[in-house]
Structure 1
Amino acid sequence: MTDAPTVVPITDVVLETRGLTKSFRGFTAVRDLDFTVRRGTIHALIGPNGAGKTTVFNLLTKFLAPTSGHILHDGVDITAASPAAIARRGIGRSFQISATFPHLTALENVRVALQRRTPGRFHFWRPESTLAALNDRALALLAEVGLEARAQEPAGTLPYGAKKALEIATTLALDPDVLLLDEPLAGMGREDVARTAALIRRTAQKENGRRTVVMVEHNLGVVADLSDRITVLQRGEILAEGSYADIAADRAVREAYMGTGHA
């Protein structure tokens, strides 16, 4: 039997996997993954469709249980932790499909998220006046993602880019130290891409320092502009890691991800 990893002091490594593997009835989606994320960086996880990127996110946030291997946060083994415990540790996540309450306003969506951090938790059956104390913070978060003018609009009526921004605002309401963004630019037009990329850059900033952002993204222009480090996956394994210049110069990456003829 393999011994559990030794707990190590907090370092600049905020998130780490050791030998992480996930198999589904004979198909191995992630294989023996040793993945390290440095604190305060924007780290992109890229690769062709089916490379295992979203599966890695599901493992990190415990929506999936690993077949084998370990996950560490701040040097603490969190492999057996529940999704709720992962969130309480300060690891937040957005999804490919926007996860908001469509019939609530943008303001109400953020307030629901803010209640997660308040004593007594959720206040669904209490008068509206009891939530007034959360309005200022909710409006500030909406302003942070450029949605203050849409605060009273139902989330279901917002344009696609605005829905993604709202989801980021609700995730930020939990004040995560590590933010996982799963294809935040998917399906967006050029203007929304530029706006959301700028939002991701701002999101990486906190009052007390930098927030760690890990993103799965196919837009290589945005990846090049935002990322401090890039990990390329292929068939659930790490093909290459480094800066964008390192990745772009790697022949194996060009063949697997960009196509042989690309520079």
Structure 2
Amino acid sequence: MDGETILETRELVKAFQGFVAVNGVSLRVARGSIHALIGPNGAGKTTVFNLLTRFLPATRGSILFRGEDITRARPAEIARRGLVRSFQVSAVFPDLTALENVRVALQRGLGTSFHFWRPERSLSVLDARARELLAAVGLEGQEQVTTVELPYGRKRALEIATTLALEPEVMLLDEPTQGMGHEDVGRVVGLIRQVAAGRTVVLVEHNLSVVRDLADRVTVLARGSVLAEGTYDEVSRDPAVLEAYIGASP
């Protein structure tokens, strides 16, 4: 982690008909770091992700990626720049094989992203890279398994593979371990640590043991605002953070 800021928000606000979901959030994410957003339910974490990737337009404030203002950029342009996200609900095609899912993500490099009527053999040039990505997330040997047949934890690994296929410089992972058993959580934590080499990861995560194991820096949100920021040890001892989580002063 070299300290250079790669992603920044300045006084970011999102209001919905009078309800302020995100209220003046300013973040600085260091290049090469794993930066976690945590907070109680309804704190505004996923809304911040939606603002960063322009799935929602900001009411006020600005977003900078590599020093360039992307506040009004289109979602597809933001992804092309290298800021790519995953979702809380696994966003893969259930009736395609694992290999086919990754191949769909890789099509952008061929300029054929929307040419689904072309023969399947025209995509065979992507197979080698698709297999490499599947192996990187622990799915080697499961290339021809239909995605709906994969266990939940493996589906999330597949989603990370499809995200990697877009060659992100910054990966935004929304609840990557949600709904997983202990074994799958450990596997995904190892996977995130592996794919973070050489790139920046921002994650929203409820499992604080995952945050403790992974995050270089933690931002705590509450009621749409930044409540605290620092290392995990620092924020976990903050009385305001403890009060937000347990509802009473320690």
TM over 0.5: yes
Rounded Cα–Cα distance in structure 2 between residues aligned with 1:39 and 1:120: 31
Deviations along 1:43-100, one digit per CA (max 9) or x if unpaired, are 0000000000000000000000011110100110001100001001101100000001
1:232 aligns with 2:232: no
Indicate the residue corresponding to 1:3 in structure 2: none
Rounded Cα–Cα distance in structure 1 between residues aligned with 2:79 and 2:89: 19
1:68 aligns with 2:56: no
The alpha-carbon deviation at position 127 of structure 1 amounts to: 2.2
Indicate the residue corresponding to 2:238 in structure 1: 250
Indicate the residue corresponding to 2:82 in structure 1: 90
Deviations along 1:116-158, one digit per CA (max 9) or x if unpaired, are 1223444422222221110010000000111122110111121
2:117 alignment partner, SS class:
coil
Q: Please list every run of 5 or more consecutive structure 2 residues that lacks an aligned counterpart in the other structure.
A: none
Q: How many residues align?
A: 248
Structure 1 residue runs of 4+, over 4 Å off?
Answer: 258-262
1:165 aligns with 2:157: yes
The alpha-carbon deviation at position 260 of structure 1 amounts to: 4.5
234 and 12 in structure 1: CA distance in 2 versus 1, 3 angstrom threshold: same
Indicate the residue corresponding to 1:45 in structure 2: 37
Indicate the residue corresponding to 2:117 in structure 1: 125
| TM-score between the two structures when normalised by the length of structure 2 | 0.96
Indicate the residue corresponding to 1:219 in structure 2: 207
- Give the counterpart letter for 1:248 in structure 2: S
- Give the counterpart letter for 1:220 in structure 2: L
Q: Choose 123-132 or 159-168, whichever is displaced more.
A: 123-132
The alpha-carbon deviation at position 258 of structure 1 amounts to: 4.7
Indicate the residue corresponding to 1:6 in structure 2: none
Identity of counterpart residues, as a percentage? Answer: 63
1:155 aligns with 2:147: yes
Rounded Cα–Cα distance in structure 1 between residues aligned with 2:247 and 2:132: 43
For the 8 Å contact 1:181–1:213, the answer to whether it is kept is yes
| TM-score between the two structures when normalised by the length of structure 1 | 0.91
Indicate the residue corresponding to 2:46 in structure 1: 54
Deviations along 1:160-193, one digit per CA (max 9) or x if unpaired, are 1011111110000001000000000000000000
Indicate the residue corresponding to 1:7 in structure 2: none
Q: Please list every run of 5 or more consecutive structure 1 residues that lacks an aligned counterpart in the other structure.
A: 1-10
1:188 alignment partner, SS class:
coil
Rounded Cα–Cα distance in structure 2 between residues aligned with 1:61 and 1:134: 27
Rounded Cα–Cα distance in structure 1 between residues aligned with 2:246 and 2:92: 33
